[in-house]
Chain A
Amino acid sequence: MKLLDCPINGTRPISEFVFGGEFRTMPDPGQCSDKAWADYVYNRNGAPGVKMEWWLHSPSGTWFIAERNTLTDEVLRSFLPGKEVAE
């Protein structure tokens, strides 16, 4: 079982986490076209690579963002939304 780093609870087995999908920025619903909205709702960046993803540490209810390589399954870093450390 894979291990994952929760920014609050440290390294835990993956069974304690729930995958929340790709982290995407919502277009302004008041401004964007129907097509742009549909793109936001349905389309995903499905190609392999390093992506920002939502993960939930379920026992503690901690949602965070993990930067993960979906090809190698390596997690580069994880952080709370808005608490991203400047690189």
Chain B
Amino acid sequence: MPHRLLRFAFSKEHKEPAFFEQPACLKPSYDAVIIGGGGHGLAAAYYLAKDHGMTNIAVLEKGYLGGGNTGRNTTIVRSNYLTPEGVKFYDASVKLFQDLSEDLDINLFYSERGHFTLAHTESAMRTMRWRAEVNKHVGVESCVVGHEEITKACPQLDISCSGKAPIIGALYHAPGSIVRHDAVAWGYARGAKNLGVDIFQSTEVNGIDVKANKVVGVQTSRGYIATNQVLSAVAGFTPRICKMVDLPTPIIIQPLQACVTEPMKPWLDHILVSGSLHVYVSQSSRGELVMGAALDPYEMHSTRSSLEFVEGLSSHILDMFPFLSNVKIVRQWAGMADMTPDFAPIMGKTPIEGFYLDAGWGTWGFKATPISGKSMAATIANDRAPDLIHSFRLSRFEEFELTGEKGAASVGH
């Protein structure tokens, strides 16, 4: 039993230090302002302080820390993407994740479960092979497996999917993991705070002042901040922030829904994704099945739930696991996904000097939290985007140089 728990048992007082302490008020100026207190924004703040020694930083969060998509995703971390640029980027993220519990001294329950992307058709199998080959080339552990291997790993799965969409094989990605998502934001927040970053919750940005195409300040519900560097890391709110500086982007917002069952004793060890059936599922450390499906089919800036989502998902999950008929869904919820035309993020500098974008995270943002934070911190500190995120630049659209991750995201997750 780790000694830390013994300390709890034998101390009369709860001496744990606070994760977050909010300063009484804003400073009049900061070297950089990060809009968005989700995983990405907090990670950027942490790495700015840790890697670049920039600590005069404010993180502004409209609601509460990690309350956006950081706390609404299905907690899957993986790097089995399609383009070499994407695979390298997410692989760097996975590597940071593997060390993150120790780095932040918080148990994130980073749990390597192995990730199967199921293929029900020959054409899906081709895509799996494409991804596997690119992954291997970049040094990421992925391979194409036949249905026998899937059955061996997950004997409960009905490999014929009730005869409706038999599984032929899968892309197996051993490093695929699940994480306690909220804790990622909390760990980064505490880490950043301990290094001197100011974090403000319930603080809304009302405007960004730009003079001569240069950022000069931020108007907030707590007052004005003079600053020359602003990072927008607000996922579903990106178009609103970009509108403040008249920056057009291709981003549109579509809800992404998920749901969770009541807890049951663990039986599903792996993470399973089916593009054809629009399902992804894993079992959390609490014993709940955490499940999601494809994006909602139209643009909307809200987190309402829909019945058709949970009906469709239920039907498909039963095709895979018919014995779940009487298992109950406890709760459904939604996040706002900031989608891009090529299913790749938009990161780096913008035509406005001092305005940096960390956006376009669609359904793939949580798994990129550490590396996006690190990359954006480097971008702000050096006013230059690192090579790792070059292909995610905003200008790729007007350059007709799209990145092409669309093929990897057969189902959002």
List of A residues within 8 angstroms of B243 by Cβ: 47
| A residues in contact with B399, CB < 8 Å | 38
Cβ–Cβ < 8 Å partners of B299 in chain A: 19, 22, 46, 53, 70
18 contacts between A and B (CB under 8 A): A1-B307, A15-B308, A19-B297, A38-B400, A42-B398, A43-B248, A44-B249, A44-B252, A46-B249, A46-B250, A46-B253, A46-B299, A46-B338, A48-B239, A53-B299, A70-B299, A71-B302, A73-B300
Contact A46 B239 (CB under 8 A): yes
Q: Which residues of B contact A46 (CB under 8 A)?
A: 238-239, 242, 249-253, 299, 338
Main secondary structure on B side of the interface with A: loop
Complex Cα spacing A53 to B299, Å: 10
Instruction: Closest A residue to B251 by CB, please name it.
Output: A46
- In whole angstroms, what is the CA distance A42 to B252 when docked? 11
Q: CB < 8 Å: which of A18, A39, A45, A71 contacts B398?
A: A39
User: Is the C-beta of A35 less than 8 angstroms from some C-beta in chain B?
Assistant: yes
List B residues 213-247 near A (Cβ within 8 Å).
Answer: 238-240, 242-243
How big is the A interface, by class? 20 to 34
Beta-carbon contact of A43 and B249 below 8 Å: yes
Find the A residue at minimum CB distance from B341.
A42
Task: Knowing A47-B239, A70-B301, say if A35 contacts B398 (CB, 8 Å).
Answer: yes
Grouping DSSP codes into helix (H, G, I), strand (E, B) and loop, the A interface class, with mixed when no group exceeds half, is: mixed
Say yes or no: A48-B301 contact (C-beta < 8 A), given A15-B308, A39-B248, A42-B250: yes
A25 within 8 A of B: no
Chain A contacts to B: CB under 8 angstroms:
1-2, 15, 18-19, 21-22, 34-35, 38-39, 41-48, 53, 70-73
Query: What CA separation (Å) do A18 and B298 show in the bound complex?
Result: 8
User: Residue B397 at the A interface, CB < 8 A?
Assistant: yes
Residues A73 and B251 in contact, CB atoms below 8 Å apart? no
Q: A47-B242, A70-B301 are in contact. List 10 more A-B contacts (CB 8 A).
A: A19-B298, A38-B397, A38-B399, A42-B397, A44-B252, A46-B249, A46-B250, A47-B240, A71-B302, A72-B302
| B384 contacts the other chain (CB 8 A) | no
Please tell me if B7 contacts chain A, counting CB pairs below 8 Å: no
**B contacts with A, residue count (CB < 8 A):** 27
CA distance A59 to B243 in the complex (A): 37
- The answer to whether B398 touches A70 (Cβ under 8 A) is no
| Residue among A15, A43, A48 facing the most chain B CB atoms (10 A cut-off) | A48
B315 within 8 A of A: no
C-alpha gap A18/B297 in the complex (Å): 8
> CA of A1 to CA of B310 in the docked complex: distance in angstroms?
11
Q: Is B306 close to A, CB under 8 A? A: yes
Answer yes or no: B304 CB below 8 A from chain A CBs.
yes
Closest to A20 in B: B298
Q: Give chain B nearest CB distance to A44 CB in angstroms.
A: 5
Contacts of A15 in B (CB 8 A): 308
Of all A-B residue pairs in the complex, the 4 with the closest CB atoms, nearest first, are A46-B239, A19-B298, A38-B398, A48-B301
- Residue of A21, A41, A47 contacting most chain B CB atoms (<10 Å): A47
* CA A87 to CA B360, docked complex, whole Å: 37
A43: which of B238, B253, B301, B397 is its contact (CB, 8 Å)? B397
Whether A48 and B250, one on each chain, are in contact in the complex, defined by CB atoms closer than 8 angstroms, is: no
B308 touches A1 (CB 8 A): yes
Q: How far is the CB of A67 from chain B (nearest CB, A)?
A: 13
Q: A46-B252, A47-B240 known; A73 and B302 CB under 8 Å?
A: yes
Q: Chain A's nearest CB lies how many Å from the CB of B365? A: 16
Q: Which of the listed residues B239, B297, B298, B304 has the most CB atoms from chain A within 10 Å of its own CB? A: B298
Closest to B241 in A: A47
What distance in Å separates the Cβ of B139 from its nearest Cβ neighbour in chain A? 32
In the bound complex, do residue A1 and residue B239 qualify as a contact, i.e. CB atoms below 8 Å apart? Answer: no
Q: Is the CB of B251 within 8 A of A44?
A: yes
- On chain B, the residues within 8 Å of A2 by CB distance are 306
A84 to chain B, nearest CB (A): 21
B248 closest partner in A (C-beta): A43
Residues from 17 to 55 in B contacting A, C-beta threshold 8 Å: none
In the complex, A59 Cα to B387 Cα: how many Å?
A: 48
Q: Which residues of B contact A39 (CB under 8 A)?
A: 248, 398
In the complex, A53→B242 CA distance in Å?
21
